[in-house]
């Protein structure tokens, strides 16, 4: 079987589900069951520790791995604090580092992310940092103890796909950790494309949560992820430029 390992934990499914855009938590259980996703992100601010309001954790099956994120953190210090609270509240050791100080474009702060990763990895967290794709930053995160690298495909919530594809391909080719595309994936074909170039998994939130039928869309994304992974393992054929140059259509298309 083609398994995915993150921090020594084994996963059979390569679709990670986000929960930030769901207004109706009751859909979460059905979506996870239908698409087979084994990990879901949760923002700590949506986990009601007081028990006074609706708690998103009540809708997540016990066999699903929680990936708390540090959404809302603007620097390493805030992200570290959120991670520690998440662990203390029973959310486990996985943590997605999300540090955003740019409120216009919502781009991650790579420098602060490296700082937070160093501290939390030493404390035993399974750290999955969200970054603007950069090979030097990715290598520093590997040394800092990250368990995976999560480059953005496009700005958060934009649904524009793999605008950073060339940079992500560089990470795939040169990093030893799993590369998991996070942010920007807007349709199943985007997820398939990410998997075809060798990414280990994708995280999808907005595209599923805001679709006309989130359950059906989650199933479509799962199939796309599987197809992309199979294509990568099968090694897609190379583009034959010689054949293109000699094609009788070449002159017609050029004219």
Q: What is the per-residue DSSP string for 22-63?
A: -S-THHHHHHHHHH---EEEEEGGGS-SSSSS--GGGGS-TT
Contacting residues for 29 by C-beta, under 8 A, at least 6 apart: 59, 60, 61
Sequence-distant (≥ 6) Cβ neighbours of residue 16 within 8 angstroms:
37, 39, 40, 41, 67, 180, 201, 202, 203, 204
User: Under a CB-based contact definition with an 8 Å cutoff, are residues 18 and 203 in contact?
Assistant: yes
- Chain center to CA of 142: 17
Among 21, 34, 65, 96, the active-site one is: 96
Assess whether 34 carries a catalytic annotation: no
Catalytic positions: 96
């Amino acid at each position: 079987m083609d398994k995915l390992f993150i921090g020594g934990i084994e996963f059979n499914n390569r679709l990670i589900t986000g929960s930030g855009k769901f207004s109706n938590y009751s859909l979460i259980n059905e979506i996870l069951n239908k698409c087979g996703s084994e990990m879901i992100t949760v923002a700590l601010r949506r986990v009601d520790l007081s028990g006074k309001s609706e708690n998103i954790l009540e809708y997540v099956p016990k066999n699903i791995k929680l990936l708390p994120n540090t959404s809302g953190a603007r620097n390493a210090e805030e992200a570290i604090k959120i991670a520690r609270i998440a662990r203390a509240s029973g959310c486990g050791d996985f943590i997605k580092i999300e540090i955003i100080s740019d409120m216009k474009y919502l781009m991650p702060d790579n420098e602060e992310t490296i700082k937070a990763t160093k501290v939390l990895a030493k404390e035993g967290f399974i750290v999955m940092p969200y970054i603007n794709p950069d090979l030097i930053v990715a290598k520093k995160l590997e040394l800092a103890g990250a368990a995976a690298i999560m480059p953005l495909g496009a700005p958060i919530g934009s649904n524009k796909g793999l605008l950073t594809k060339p940079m992500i391909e560089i990470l795939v080719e040169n990093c030893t950790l799993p590369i998991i595309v996070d942010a920007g994936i807007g349709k199943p074909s985007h997820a398939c494309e990410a998997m075809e170039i060798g990414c280990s998994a994708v995280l999808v939130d907005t595209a599923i949560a805001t679709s006309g039928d989130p359950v059906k869309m989650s199933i479509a994304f799962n199939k796309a992820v599987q197809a992309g992974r199979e294509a990568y393992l099968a090694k897609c054929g190379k583009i034959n430029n010689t054949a293109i140059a000699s094609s009788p259509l070449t002159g017609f298309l050029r004219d």
